[in-house]
A and B are shown apart, each in its own frame.
Chain A
Amino acid sequence: MIRMKLIFPVFILLFWGCEKKIDVDLNETNPVIVIEGTLSDNPNLACVKISNTTSYYSSEPAEMLAGATVKITDEEGREFELIENNGQYLNNSIIPDANCQYRLSVTMGENVYESVSKMHRTVFIDSMAVALNEDYSVFQEGYNVYLYFHDPPGENNYYRLKMFLNGEEEDAPEDFIFFDDNNTNGKFVELRIRRKTYEVGDTVTYQLQTLDKAAYEYFSAVSELIDENSAVSASPANPNPNFSNGALGYFSAYSCDEKTIVIQSKIKSLK
């Protein structure tokens, strides 16, 4: 999907704008439960984190809630319990099947929160490449990493790209990247994040996750909210939750594949 970023307001604002930190009184609200659940096939791991919303200006990280009963059920009715460990609920014995739907249920006191997610078959990365791109408009000169894969034809696919630099996940707001195959269905896709430039010697890992539609829509809505440029949105709203009973958050079963490349000088292309 080609996204239209509003370049002009930025262009104009550069001339005259000024920015300052201000105090805005915000209402306090009752905490709402937030559930983050993932089920991955590579490695096999189910992980659930439970927390509450906090006051907007609180400087503490959200406290992870213990004491919940967390279960994942597959289509055949097999139940797997996730065991609490250090604020997370984990289970590494579920071997996910492609095209199967999984149900997550979280019981916290009297309340039960449920969500379903479908595991998609893995879309494998074909290859990776590196090229040196010259300085160009807002982009700096540097090495870019290219990722190639075949988008499966005849179906809608939803992807997430996770990037790791020298083993560290890149977690800046703008590195929260999601895309679909609306414009590339069934094609051989080249993906490059132009603004991401690397130095010689960097080890770069790109992970391609294949999500289900509901999780993709949830993450896309979140990425709009955390996008620094979205301040022009007239009416921000909470992403539609994936859970029953008013819990915030998502449950995402996903398949993934990753490849690693080391940036070397004089490499033009590994294609």
Chain B
Amino acid sequence: MLRTTTLLFLFLEVCFSLAAQKRFVLSGNIKDAASGEDLIGATIVVKNLQSTGTTSNAYGFYSLSLAKGQYQLSVQFVGYETEVFNLVLDENKSLNVEMKEKSFEIGNITVTGERADRNISSVDMGNIKMIPGRIESIPVIFGEHDVFKTIQLTAGVKPAGEGSSGFYVRGGGIDQNLISLDEAPVYNASHLMGFFSVFNSESIKDANLMKGSIPAEFGGRASSVFDIKMKDGNQKEYGVTGNVGLISSGLTVEGPVVKDKSSFVVSGRRTYADMFLVFSNDEDVNNSTLYFYDLNLKTNYKINKNNRIFLSGYFGRDKFRFAEEFGFDWGNKTGTFRWNHNFSEKLFSNTSFIFSNYSYNINVLRDLDVDIRSEIQDWNIKQDFSYYANVRNTIKYGGNMIYHNILPGEISVPQGSIYSPLKITRRKAIEWAAYVSNQQTISEKIKLYYGLRLALFSNIGPGEFYEFDGDGVLTNTVEKEDFEFVKTQGGLEPRLGLTYMLSAESSVKASYNRIYQFLHLLSNSTTATPTDLWLPSSNNVKPQISDQFSLGYFRNFKNNEFESSLEIYYKDLENQIDYKNSADLIFNSTVEAELVFGRGWAYGAELTVKRNYGRINGWLSYTWSKTMRQFDEINQGEPFPARHDRTHDFSIVGMYDINDRLKLSATWVYYTGNAVTFPSGRYEIDGRIVEYYTERNGYRMPDYHRLDLGLTWIRKKTIKFESSWNFSIYNAYARENAYYIDFRESETNPGETEAVQFSLFKIVPSVSYKFKF
């Protein structure tokens, strides 16, 4: 650790001495000419200086320090016309660029890189960026376009299950992905038992999954960061986009508040599957509801050249009610206020105030009138600085502080009820972090990234803290006062990256990350459920720690028309959580005693080949991997494969432009079945047949494969009005993939036992219509 720190200071020393030469700064914002949306990750290349350039940040801002002179600059962003400027730099200059989308694109660019050769030349690795508008023609279940479903088609990312929006990244658990919307963590990113994500793709500007090298400004989740940014809204003119689908419809309105200074966007979506319930003959069924909605709001205002503010919010909720008997609703609320400030042409600052809340409520009506409630709420203040020291060094530093407030569960009952009310002590904690990093171009061939993050987590009062003996029996309860510190844990997280260019079209990259995770999701079922509970680290629960090493070879062909990469990784996970037999996870104040702790490791190789241009484009990805866990208390202490240990995972995504109106697309996925626990024998208890298990996850589900087809027909496309139809077929050859396999006593022959496979979706056709004016 000491050595890393010294190394870092050494490099800072070097870059400051470089910065001492007399240079001028060129800075500005890069935007879409039509909508005024900031373009994130556009590349600015200095033509006459090899390997000199920069990319625009999350707010479209860039800064470049150059010696006095005459330069030719080219600004590139895939899908946009390249802009070229000639300029004389003899003082600090500001250059704002508005880029035009290519008027006629032959072939969609699917998963984009910002610069044609970015995948080989950048210092990051294992990152996947998606722009929702560009992946629209990929077929999806129920026609609901979802970046979560598309990301599952890339290497190293595995779906949690049939139709599920949850995913596993490189052997990590579902809770090890930081899903953030405009910097606010989203604690339960799925609707309707996980079949849909909470992200309405109409409201999303850009989604970036980081699974390999994770920059020092991100932390808190052990395996990946899925950074999702909402659209800012059109600064030039008003626009309405709508889509009508089989199970949901959505409408997005955007436009300028003050032209070129301020814009807004409002985007809503609601499902209406429950509207069919009114046709039911059963009075209880047609008195029932089952729907979800999402509402995204964002506005921004450019106060002046150096100050800009953003306000964004998300509200989404699932509502389920069965007659007058039972009600259940759950959802997220997030809010972000941001202030961009340029202290100088070289120093960019962003200050964010972030709020996030996830809660669920259950009402059991009729005779009981019981109310059940649980929530997790965060308040977060975050400060980030980017210092564009010179063309070779970009230094980032900052910190944040999150106040977590978790209500694990509360049951309230009316007076005189036979049930007792229950209130589980709130869990409060402060998560702190500070970081510094530098991205440095050493030479034409070598780029380095080095950063260090300090991550700490402190449990604070008020509340009860528990102490247990070795058998999980409560031995002591300690009551703490408001803001009294109980336990602080955490440590330093080095983040390192190296890119070595072998040639203009190939490179090797290496990276290392350490990440602490302090919040853990307790869930013992195979699907995401709204009642899954986030448990903070404490005196009884140590933080999870992941260490990941990755190495990759990147090669482009035919002038970046084809991209390919081969990445290998090894990930070590400490303090992983599993559960004791028949653990009681909900409404249990001493849930910490139900846990067991162990370790995990995962390794694998990921191969991706992609064609970005042409009438036929798309990608192919193959992952070979192994994911293991080991706990003293499970499987006699022997290592066992994690449930999501899938040896082979293959996806192919193809898109074919028949003409400029018709686009055909297909995806095929294949993966090894999940590791599962099946019985190896049986016995009887009190006359009932009970399964006898010998090993954890010693069996395999059948292999999974599926073909989806899609057709997009652009009916009308003028400057004023656009409309298109999208038809898709999910699981086109009706493969009966096993959702689960149940072992049970035969209904027809009592005393005999049998295995029964349950499959979810056979062929699911869908159609949706989209318009824009």
Q: Interface residues, chain A, CB within 8 Å of chain B?
A: 1-2, 4, 6-9, 11-13, 16-24, 26-29, 31-32, 34, 36, 51-59, 61-62, 136-137, 171, 173, 176, 182-185, 187-190, 217, 219-222, 224-226, 228, 231-240, 248-250
Q: How far is the CB of A42 from chain B (nearest CB, A)?
A: 18
Q: Which A-chain residue is minimally distant from B579 (CB atoms)?
A: A235
A151 vs B526: C-alpha distance in the bound complex, in angstroms? Answer: 36
Please tell me which one of the listed residues A29, A52, A184 contacts residue B694 in the complex, with CB atoms under 8 A apart.
A29
Q: Which A-chain residue is minimally distant from B420 (CB atoms)?
A: A183
Q: Are B760 and A231 in contact (CB under 8 A)?
A: no
A185 vs B421: C-alpha distance in the bound complex, in angstroms? Answer: 12
Binary contact readout B188-222 vs A (1 if CB under 8 angstroms, 0 otherwise): 00001101000000000000000000000000000
Q: Are B682 and A53 in contact (CB under 8 A)?
A: yes
Q: List 5 A-B contacts (CB under 8 A).
A: A9-B193, A12-B195, A24-B678, A235-B578, A240-B581
Interface centre among A57, A171, A185, A222 (most CB of B within 10 A): A57
Q: Are A190 and B681 in contact (CB under 8 A)?
A: no
| Listed stretches B83-91, B321-329, B348-356; interface member | B321-329
Q: Which B-chain residue is minimally distant from A11 (CB atoms)?
A: B290
B683 contacts which chain A residues (CB < 8 A)? 32, 34, 51-54, 62, 248-249
Q: Are B696 and A235 in contact (CB under 8 A)?
A: yes
Binary contact readout B317-346 vs A (1 if CB under 8 angstroms, 0 otherwise): 000101101101000000000000000000
Q: Are B586 and A4 in contact (CB under 8 A)?
A: yes
Q: Are A54 and B420 in contact (CB under 8 A)?
A: no
Q: Are B688 and A171 in contact (CB under 8 A)?
A: yes
Q: How far is the CB of B747 from chain A (nearest CB, A)?
A: 10
B688 contacts which chain A residues (CB < 8 A)? 171, 173, 176, 222, 226
Q: Are B526 and A234 in contact (CB under 8 A)?
A: yes
Q: Which A-chain residue is minimally distant from B366 (CB atoms)?
A: A136
Q: Are A28 and B680 in contact (CB under 8 A)?
A: yes
Q: Which A-chain residue is minimally distant from B742 (CB atoms)?
A: A231
Q: Are A225 and B690 in contact (CB under 8 A)?
A: yes
Q: How far is the CB of B594 from chain A (nearest CB, A)?
A: 12
Known contacts A18-B762, A234-B524; is-contact A250 B685 (Cβ 8 Å): yes
Please tell me which one of the listed residues A7, A9, A56, A221 contacts residue B582 in the complex, with CB atoms under 8 A apart.
A221
Number of interface residues of B (CB under 8 A): 80
Q: Which B-chain residue is minimally distant from A250 (CB atoms)?
A: B685
Known contacts A171-B687, A249-B685; is-contact A13 B760 (Cβ 8 Å): yes
Known contacts A59-B751, A235-B696; is-contact A222 B690 (Cβ 8 Å): yes
A218 vs B759: C-alpha distance in the bound complex, in angstroms? Answer: 32
Q: Are B755 and A54 in contact (CB under 8 A)?
A: no
A264 vs B697: C-alpha distance in the bound complex, in angstroms? Answer: 52
B284 contacts which chain A residues (CB < 8 A)? 136-137
Please tell me which one of the listed residues A7, A189, A237 contacts residue B693 in the complex, with CB atoms under 8 A apart.
A237
Q: Are A235 and B694 in contact (CB under 8 A)?
A: no
The verdict on B20 contacting chain A, using a C-beta distance below 8 Å, is: no
Q: How far is the CB of A160 from chain B (nearest CB, A)?
A: 10
Q: Are A56 and B758 in contact (CB under 8 A)?
A: no
A24 contacts which chain B residues (CB < 8 A)? 678, 699, 741, 755
Q: Are A9 and B527 in contact (CB under 8 A)?
A: yes
Please tell me which one of the listed residues A2, A12, A232 contacts residue B740 in the complex, with CB atoms under 8 A apart.
A232
A61 vs B531: C-alpha distance in the bound complex, in angstroms? Answer: 40
Q: Interface residues, chain B, CB within 8 Å of chain A?
A: 192-193, 195, 284, 290, 320, 322-323, 325-326, 328, 362, 364, 366, 370, 372, 411, 418-420, 422, 524-527, 529, 531, 578-579, 581-582, 586-587, 634, 643, 677-694, 696-699, 736, 738-745, 749, 751-762, 764
A150 vs B690: C-alpha distance in the bound complex, in angstroms? Answer: 33
B753 contacts which chain A residues (CB < 8 A)? 56-57
Q: How far is the CB of A55 from chain B (nearest CB, A)?
A: 6
A53 vs B749: C-alpha distance in the bound complex, in angstroms? Answer: 20
A235 vs B755: C-alpha distance in the bound complex, in angstroms? Answer: 17
Q: Are A220 and B680 in contact (CB under 8 A)?
A: no
A240 vs B583: C-alpha distance in the bound complex, in angstroms? Answer: 11
Q: How far is the CB of B474 from chain A (nearest CB, A)?
A: 13
Known contacts A23-B755, A236-B693; is-contact A16 B760 (Cβ 8 Å): yes
Q: Are B643 and A235 in contact (CB under 8 A)?
A: yes
Interface centre among B325, B694, B740, B744 (most CB of A within 10 A): B694
Q: Are B685 and A36 in contact (CB under 8 A)?
A: yes
Query: Apart from A2-B370, A56-B691, A248-B683, what 18 extra A-B contacts exist at CB < 8 Å?
Result: A19-B757, A19-B758, A24-B678, A26-B679, A27-B698, A29-B692, A62-B683, A137-B284, A183-B419, A189-B418, A190-B418, A228-B742, A234-B526, A235-B696, A235-B697, A238-B581, A238-B692, A239-B581
Q: How far is the CB of B646 from chain A (nearest CB, A)?
A: 15
Q: Are A137 and B525 in contact (CB under 8 A)?
A: no
B320 contacts which chain A residues (CB < 8 A)? 8
A61 contacts which chain B residues (CB < 8 A)? 684, 751
Going nearest first, the 5 A-B pairs with the smallest beta carbon separation are: A221-B582, A53-B681, A24-B755, A231-B742, A34-B683
Q: How far is the CB of A252 from chain B (nearest CB, A)?
A: 10
A228 contacts which chain B residues (CB < 8 A)? 742, 744
Q: Are A12 and B193 in contact (CB under 8 A)?
A: yes
Q: Are B411 and A17 in contact (CB under 8 A)?
A: no
Q: Which B-chain residue is minimally distant from A234 (CB atoms)?
A: B526
Q: How far is the CB of A256 from chain B (nearest CB, A)?
A: 14
Q: Which B-chain residue is minimally distant from A169 (CB atoms)?
A: B687
A26 contacts which chain B residues (CB < 8 A)? 678-680, 699
Q: How far is the CB of B470 from chain A (nearest CB, A)?
A: 15
Q: Are B756 and A19 in contact (CB under 8 A)?
A: yes
Please tell me which one of the listed residues A1, A6, A16, A188 contacts residue B529 in the complex, with CB atoms under 8 A apart.
A6
A4 vs B328: C-alpha distance in the bound complex, in angstroms? Answer: 11
Q: Are B420 and A17 in contact (CB under 8 A)?
A: no
A12 contacts which chain B residues (CB < 8 A)? 192-193, 195
Q: Which A-chain residue is minimally distant from B364 (CB atoms)?
A: A2
Q: Are A18 and B736 in contact (CB under 8 A)?
A: yes
A31 vs B682: C-alpha distance in the bound complex, in angstroms? Answer: 10
Q: Are B582 and A224 in contact (CB under 8 A)?
A: yes
Q: Are B759 and A221 in contact (CB under 8 A)?
A: no
A20 contacts which chain B residues (CB < 8 A)? 736, 756-757, 759
Known contacts A7-B326, A24-B741; is-contact A235 B687 (Cβ 8 Å): no
B370 contacts which chain A residues (CB < 8 A)? 2
Q: Are A248 and B686 in contact (CB under 8 A)?
A: no
A222 vs B764: C-alpha distance in the bound complex, in angstroms? Answer: 38
Q: Are A236 and B691 in contact (CB under 8 A)?
A: yes
Q: How far is the CB of B630 from chain A (nearest CB, A)?
A: 14
Q: Are A238 and B680 in contact (CB under 8 A)?
A: no
Q: Are A248 and B692 in contact (CB under 8 A)?
A: yes
A235 contacts which chain B residues (CB < 8 A)? 524, 578-579, 643, 677, 696-697
A54 vs B756: C-alpha distance in the bound complex, in angstroms? Answer: 20
A19 contacts which chain B residues (CB < 8 A)? 756-759
Q: Are A56 and B743 in contact (CB under 8 A)?
A: yes
A16 vs B730: C-alpha distance in the bound complex, in angstroms? Answer: 13
Known contacts A222-B690, A225-B690, A235-B697; is-contact A22 B685 (Cβ 8 Å): no
A219 vs B526: C-alpha distance in the bound complex, in angstroms? Answer: 23
Known contacts A2-B370, A222-B690; is-contact A234 B643 (Cβ 8 Å): yes
Q: How far is the CB of B528 from chain A (nearest CB, A)?
A: 11
Q: Are A21 and B755 in contact (CB under 8 A)?
A: yes
Q: How far is the CB of B488 from chain A (nearest CB, A)?
A: 32
Known contacts A4-B531, A24-B755, A56-B679; is-contact A217 B582 (Cβ 8 Å): yes
Interface centre among A11, A61, A183 (most CB of B within 10 A): A183
Q: Are B758 and A17 in contact (CB under 8 A)?
A: yes
